[in-house]
Amino acid sequence: MASRKKIALIGAGQIGGTLALLAGQKELGDVVLVDIMEGVAKGKALDLQETRGVTKFDVNVTGGGTGDYAIIKDADVCIVTAGVPRKPGMSRDDLLKVNLDAIAKVAEGIKHHAPNAFVIVITNPLDSMVYAMYKITGFPKNRVVGMAGVLDTARFQYFVGEAAGVSPQDVNAMVLGGHGDDMVPLLRYSSVNGVPLTKLVEKAKLDAIVDRTRKGGGEIVALLGTGSAFYAPAASAIAMAESYLKDKKRVLPCSAYLDGQYGVKGVFVGVPVVIGAGGVERVLEVDLNEEERAMLTKSLESVKKSVAETKL
Ligand code: A3D
């Protein structure tokens, strides 16, 4: 009889807790929450177990502290949110030093206890934290990936849907580049189920939507006052984990290791990839015009600067 898959969530904060709820409800596999605040991980796990009779899911949710990484043993997927989120007025890069320390410890834990896992990093600054995870675990490039593009795209889908009076589900969009304020939404490759965006939303409004998408994380940080977005980031990472666990081969924009694609080598940056049982199975390349190429180059400069600060 096939046993259940195992999903380790490292970081049991706002995103970690939401990931556990979604993974449980979708019955993706047994869930293990890990946090330096052991009680938080154990408490959220117990609270979620206590929803099972009502929500009717049959996977186990357990929790533990970072003193016992053995609980993630042989996890199929690890989703990492360990670290701290932004406060109002902070940039993602302001988090680098403190979160690098967390990622380094988590990467060692994953390397020893879940050496075959598919690792999805969410901790910011995203593109350099996923790079650090890749370097420290020494895992192959297809098994380490960053969540950002799915979220950025989902924000764009919602804003376009709202402006056009259509369901965000029917907005197809693509965002390239680093997960920062200079990310690159590709309007030419976006549509409402094939209908060009410009048929439904006027150009000035679209430009405003691009700007709002770029600053979408900051908008939520400012509204919340403490912490950053967690529902949409968690839903985005679950889409990636599900595509891997079920070999769905979905095409999702993710921070992936580039090995010459888009003329870039040796960094993680947002590009469309195919996620299936082989992890990041393929990076898909689209043609870029001069303006898009210039935006990607600018975004890459920020990513490379952040990666250089990791000194890895
Ligand atoms: P939060 O609710 O603070 O949860 C983070 C958890 O990590 C806390 O419970 C900490 O105790 C725990 N932690 C810290 N260090 C360690 C460690 N070494 N090992 C295990 N656990 C640890 O934050 P959150 O869940 O809202 O956000 C988590 C991260 O995701 C932050 O860095 C955010 O900036 C980032 N984030 C990224 C995106 C992207 O799109 C990439 C979106 C939203 C948030």
Q: For residue 181, name the pLDDT band (cuts at 50, 70, 90).
A: confident
φ, ψ dihedrals at 171, nearest 5°: -90, 120
Cα 40 to averaged position of ligand 1 atoms, centre (Å) = 13
What does the pLDDT look like over 23-77, one tens digit per residue? 999 999 999 999 999 999 999 999 999 999 999 999 999 999 999 899 999 999 9
pLDDT at 171: 98
Residue 208 confidence (pLDDT) above 70: yes
Residue 4 confidence (pLDDT) above 80: yes
pLDDT at 93: 83
What does the pLDDT look like over 144-164, one tens digit per residue? 999 999 999 999 999 999 999
Please report the atom of ligand 1 found closest to the CA of residue 103: 18
1 located within any domain: no
Residue 96 confidence (pLDDT) above 80: yes
Q: Kindly indicate whether the ipTM for this predicted assembly is greater than 0.95, answering yes or no.
A: yes
Residues in the annotated binding site for substrate: 86, 92, 124, 155
Residue 303 confidence (pLDDT) above 60: yes
pLDDT at 212: 96
- Say if residue 274 is in the same domain as residue 198: yes
Which residue range(s) make up the domain with 11?
Answer: 6-146
Among residues 146, 163, 179, which one ends one of the domains?
146
191 CB within 6 A, ligand 1: no
Residue 246 confidence (pLDDT) above 70: yes
Token duo for residue 89? 């007025």
Please report the atom of ligand 1 found closest to the CA of residue 99: 32
- Say if residue 141 is in the same domain as residue 179: no
pLDDT at 3: 86
DSSP-derived letter for residue 286 is: -
Q: What pTM, to 2 d.p., does this model score?
A: 0.98
Residue 1 confidence (pLDDT) above 70: no
Among residues 89, 122, 146, which one ends one of the domains?
146
- Whose CA is closest to atom 40 on ligand 1? 148
- Whose CA is closest to atom 13 on ligand 1? 82
Please report the atom of ligand 1 found closest to the CA of residue 233: 42
Secondary structure of residue 86 in the 3-state scheme: coil
Q: For residue 240, name the pLDDT band (cuts at 50, 70, 90).
A: very high
225-228 — which CB contacts under 8 Å span 24+ positions? 225/88, 226/87, 227/13, 227/14, 227/85, 228/14, 228/85, 228/86
Q: Which of 21, 228, 230, 269 to mutate to test the pocket of ligand 1 (most atoms within 8 A of CB)?
A: 228
Judge whether 179 counts as a catalytic residue. yes
Mean pLDDT for 122-135 is 97
- Say if residue 226 is in the same domain as residue 281: yes
Residue 306's CATH number:
3.90.110.10
124 CB within 6 A, ligand 1: yes
**Options 179, 216, 244, 292, the catalytic residue:** 179
Which position has the higher pLDDT, 181 or 9? 9
Domain count, the chain: 2
Cα 107 to averaged position of ligand 1 atoms, centre (Å) = 14
pLDDT at 87: 84
Question: Rounded to the nearest 10 degrees, how much is the dihedral formed by the CA atoms of 44, 232, 148, 252?
Answer: 110
The span from the CA of 78 to the CA of 74, in Å, is 10
Cα 143 to averaged position of ligand 1 atoms, centre (Å) = 21
- Say if residue 140 is in the same domain as residue 153: no
CA nearest neighbour of 79 among 21, 154, 157: 21
- Say if residue 155 is in the same domain as residue 282: yes
- Say if residue 229 is in the same domain as residue 282: yes
Q: For residue 2, name the pLDDT band (cuts at 50, 70, 90).
A: low
Residue 301 confidence (pLDDT) above 60: yes
Token duo for residue 75? 């996890």
CB 178 within 8 A of CB 269: yes
- Say if residue 242 is in the same domain as residue 286: yes
CB 259 within 8 A of CB 265: yes
Expressed in percent and rounded to 5, the helix, strand and coil fractions of the chain are: 50, 20, 30
- Say if residue 298 is in the same domain as residue 231: yes
Question: Rounded to the nearest 10 degrees, how much is the dihedral formed by the CA atoms of 64, 66, 70, 72?
Answer: 70
- Say if residue 211 is in the same domain as residue 171: yes
Among residues 146, 162, 186, which one ends one of the domains?
146
- Say if residue 30 is in the same domain as residue 94: yes
- Looking at the chain, the whole-number percentage of residues with pLDDT higher than 90 is 93
Cα 296 to averaged position of ligand 1 atoms, centre (Å) = 27
CA nearest neighbour of 267 among 86, 170, 172, 132: 132
